[in-house]
Chains A and B, each alone.
Chain A
Amino acid sequence: MTETSHSEGSTPQTPGNGTGVGERGEPLGPVLKKPGAGGSWRRPFARNGGAGSREIHHLGLVAALVLLALVGVFTEPDNFATSGNVVGILALAATIGVITVGQTFVIIGGGIDLSVGSVMALASVWATTVATQSYGPAVMALCAILVGTGAGVVTGILISYGRLVPFIATLAMLVAARGLAQRMSDRKTQLVRPENDAIEALSTTKVLGLPLVVYIFAAVAVVGWLLLNRTTFGRRTFAVGGNPEAARLAGIDVRRHTLLLYALSGFCCGIAAIIIMARTTTGSSTHGDLYELDAIAAVIIGGTLLTGGRGTVVGSILGVLVFTLITNLFILNGLQTSDQLVAKGVIIVIAVLLQRRGLRSPT
C-alpha cells in the first residue's frame, strides 16, 4: 500500500516557484538541479509541510510591500518614491533588522529572546562611557559587540544549563540589562565624543548612495541566511527547535546549541548598538524600548513558527521592512502613531492567519 498511496503528489505545488523571494531564497538551486527520478529538483530541501507554503507566504509579504509602496506612490507621489526616502527606510530598518536576524535564530531554535532591546541599550551605554570612549571608535564597537554577546551568553547559560524557561530568563535579562544601563549612564544620554566621530561616519558615509549602516544590515542578513541554510549550525537549529528530544537522541548537544543561539542573538544586539550609536550619536539606557516586541512581530509575520523548527531569515527581514514602511507611510501622510499601532496589529493578525492556513494544507 505504501507505494501507490504516497507517490501521488510527490511534487509539492509551488506556485511561486521561480519568482520573487522564493528564487532568491535558493541561489544555489541550479547547482543541485539534476534531471532525476524525483522529477524537477528545484528544491532539494523542502523545509516544511507544503514546500510551497513558504513561498506563498513570502509572496504574501512581498505583495504587502508592493501594496504599501503603491499606497505611498499614490498618496505622496513627490516624497515616497525618491531614492532619499528608500535609503532612509533602509537605514531606519537597519537597527531592528539586525536584531531580528538574531531573534529569528532563537525562535527557530525553539526559544524567544525578550531582552534584545535592553541588551542593545546596555551595549550602547557601555560603549559610550568616558572610559571606553578614550580608547577610540574601534574599541567602542568591539565593546558593544562583547557586551551584547556576553549578555547573550549569560541568558543562554541560564536557559540551557540553569533550566530556566526562555521567557523567564530573557525577561529577567530585559529588566536587569535596562537597570544596569541606567546605572552606568546615571540615566543620562551619553554623547559620542567628537574625536570618535568615526562611529557616526557609519551613518553619514555613503557608498554607492547607501550609508554604511545599510551595508552592515545587509551583511548581517546575508551571513545570517548562509548560517541558517548552509551550515551544520543552521541545520541543527531547525532540529533543536523542531524536536529537541529527537535532536538529543540524534546525538546533538542541545544545551550547548541553545546557549550558542542566545549568544548569537546577543551578538546581533551588539551590532545593532553600533548602528544606533551611529544614527543617534549617543548611547542611552532608553534605546531599544519595546524592540523585543517589534522583532518578535517581524519574525512571526515573516512566517517563522513561534514554536520553533521552521522559519526563514528572508521572511523576517521582509517583516521588518513592512513595519518600517508602515511607519514611514504614516509619517509621510501626517498620521499619528496611534493609527500606526492599529495598522501593525492588524497586519500581525492577518499574517498569522495566513500562516495557519499554510500549515493546515501541507502538500
Chain B
Amino acid sequence: MGSPEPLLLMRGIVKEFPGVRALDGVDLDVRPGEVHCLLGQNGAGKSTLIKVLAGAHQPDQGEIVFAGAPVRLAGPTAAMRAGIATIYQELDLVDGLSVAENVFLGHERARLGFTRRAEAERAARDLLARLGHGEIPPRREVGRLPAAGKQVVSMARALSHDARLIVMDEPSAALAHDEVANLFRIIRELTSAGVAVVYISHRLEEIREIGDRVTVLKDGRSVAGGLPAQTTSTDEIVSLMTGRDVEYVFPERPEPEDDRPEVLRVEDLTLPGAFEDVSLTVRAGEIVGLAGLVGSGRSEILETVYGARRPARGRVLIDGRPVRPGDTGAAVRRGMGMAPEERKSQALLMNESVAGNVSVAGLSRYASFGWLSRRRELADVRRQIEALDIRPPDPRRPVVTLSGGNQQKVVLARWLLDPDGLRLLILDEPTRGVDVGARAELYAVIRQLAGRGIGVLLVSSEVPEVLGLADRVLVVREGRVVHTGDARDLDEGSVLNMIMEGSAL
C-alpha cells in the first residue's frame, strides 16, 4: 500500500447535518491511474462523500490532500479547477444545448464574450474521439442523445477540465449491457492515461471487472480501505457492509396466523419500464416488506398499487374487490393510505400546520356541505397526536418545525383519523431522514397498527429494517420479484446478495 504517491488523500472527514452525522471519520486514498470503488449501503455516506469531493459540501473536520498539496474545495468551481470532476447519476447536462456547448458549459471558448463555435466544436470532437465516440456530432442537441451518449458527453466535459480524478456515481445504472462494456473500455483508456476514477456501484460483478481497490463505507465511516477488488470475497464485503454498531430495536413479531383475511391482492401488475408481472398479497395485520435497490422498481410497485401510477396490465383488489386503477382518490376511499418516499415533496404541505397536514386526506369527515367543523377536526387531530405521541403535541404548529420522525408520524396520523376505514397502509422508506432514536418508536407504531388488523406494505433500502419489521419479505430486482419468503428464514447477507447479484449465496 502507498507505494505510488496517492493522488487523493482524505483523512478523518466529518460532515454533520442537523440531527445526523452523515460522515463520521472517512479515510480514502486514491492512486493515479486506478479505479477505486466505493461500496456501502444506502445511507452509509457515499453521496455525502461525493459531494464533499465535488465541492458541494464543506466538511466539518478532516483534511483533503490532492496531488501532494492540501486543498480546500470551497465550491464546485474550485473542485473543477483543482482537477476533480464529478459525473452524477442524474447527469447535469442542459438538454437544449448542443454537445459542444455542454462540454464547455461554464468555461466556454470565447473571445471578447463571443463564443468561438468552430473552435469549441473541434475541441469537443477531439475529446469525443479520445473517448472512442467520434461518431457523436458536436452540434447535436444533447436532449436527443440516448442515455449512454449523454454519459459520454459528461465524461468529455470532465476531460475538458483536464480532470485528474473523475468521480462516477452509479454510472451503469441507466445503461444497457453492451453500453456498460463500452463504459468500461472508456474507463480503462482514461486510467491508462493516468486519470484516477472513483467508481460507485451496487453491482459487485462490475466492481470485480473494472475495479482495482475497494473502500467500504458503513454508517458514515470507512470500515475498510484499499481492499483488492478482484480477490476480496463477497462474504467479506457483505459482512463489512452489514455489521452494525447501532442495533435497531424491533418490536416483537406475533405468531403468523394464516387464517386472517387477505386485505390486498395484486395480480400480474405491470408497468412497462419499471416492473413486470408482480403478484402479491397482504393479509390483515400482516407486514409485508419489499427489499430492492433504488431503481429496482420497488417504489413504482407501491405507487401503482396506490393508484398514483396507471398500470399497463394487472389488477389491484382490496378485500376481494378491484380498485379503479390510476386513481388515488378511489384508493383512499377503499381504505388505502400511503406514506411516500419523499416526505417533503410528496407528503407534507410545508406551509401548513400539523393539523392541516393530518386532516387533509379526510376533510370530508368534518364537513357538512363543504363547511368545515374545525372543532371536530381539531379534537380528532389531537387524539392522533396523543395516540402517536407526536412532539411537540401542538396541532397548530407549522409542520416544517418538526423533526423527521415526528413529521413521519404526522403523515401516518393522516390515515388513522378514521378508526375503521384504513385497510392497508403503504410505507415507502418510512424511516428515511429519521434519526436512530426515533426509529424504534416508529417501528413500534407500525407494528401496533398492524395489530389493529391493518395490512402494511413496506419498502426500505435498509435490509435490516425490512427483515426486522416485516413478517414476509419480497426481494425485487430489475422490476421482478425474485424471492418471496418468511422474514425469519432470511438474513441480511443473503438478501443483499439477491439484491446485488441475483444468486443466493
Contacts and interface: CB of A to CB of B under 8 A. Distances in A.
B346 A2 contact: no
- A12, A233, A239, A249 interface centre (most CB from chain B within 10 Å): A249
Contacts of A250: 328, 332, 347, 360-361, 414
A2 B400 contact: no
Contacts of B98: none
B360 A247 contact: yes
A48 B375 CA distance: 20
B374 A32 contact: yes
A249 B306 contact: yes
B423 to A, nearest CB: 14
Given A249-B346, A251-B331, A242 B361 contact: no
A115 B378 CA distance: 39
A6 B391 CA distance: 8
A12 B406 CA distance: 19
Nearest to A36: B382
A245 B346 contact: yes
Interface in B299-353: 306, 308, 328-329, 331-333, 338, 340, 345-353
Interface in B350-365: 350-353, 355-356, 359-361, 363-364
B328 A251 contact: yes
Contacts of A243: 345-346, 348-350
B398 A46 contact: yes
Contacts of B378: 32, 44
Contact of A249 (B328, B394, B397, B438): B328
A160 to B, nearest CB: 14
B353 A47 contact: yes
A310 B351 CA distance: 7
A44 B359 CA distance: 13
A43 interface: yes
Contact of B396 (A5, A43, A305): A43
Nearest to B369: A231
A235 B360 CA distance: 8
A308 B57 CA distance: 30
Interface string A219-262: 00000000000111101101100110111111111000000000
B363 A236 contact: yes
B370 A238 contact: no
B17 interface: no
Contacts of B364: 232
A235 B378 CA distance: 14
Interface in A279-326: 305, 309-310
Given A10-B394, A38-B394, A250-B360, A46 B346 contact: no
Nearest to A309: B351
Contact of A6 (B352, B401, B414): B401
What 4 pairs between A and B have smallest CB-CB spacing?
A: A251-B332, A250-B361, A38-B394, A232-B363
Given A37-B393, A232-B363, A250-B332, 20 more contacts: A2-B391, A2-B438, A6-B392, A10-B394, A31-B375, A47-B351, A48-B351, A49-B400, A230-B371, A232-B364, A232-B366, A235-B356, A238-B352, A242-B349, A243-B348, A249-B338, A249-B340, A250-B360, A309-B351, A310-B351
Interface of A: 1-3, 5-7, 10, 12, 28, 31-32, 37-38, 41, 43-51, 230-233, 235-236, 238-239, 242-243, 245-253, 305, 309-310, 362-363
Interface of B: 19, 306, 308, 328-329, 331-333, 338, 340, 345-353, 355-356, 359-361, 363-364, 366-367, 370-372, 374-375, 378, 391-398, 400-403, 405-406, 414, 435, 437-438
30 contacts: A1-B435, A2-B403, A2-B437, A10-B394, A12-B398, A32-B375, A37-B394, A38-B393, A38-B394, A43-B396, A44-B353, A44-B396, A45-B355, A45-B356, A48-B351, A49-B398, A50-B398, A230-B374, A231-B367, A232-B366, A235-B356, A235-B363, A235-B372, A239-B349, A242-B350, A243-B346, A243-B349, A246-B345, A249-B346, A305-B351
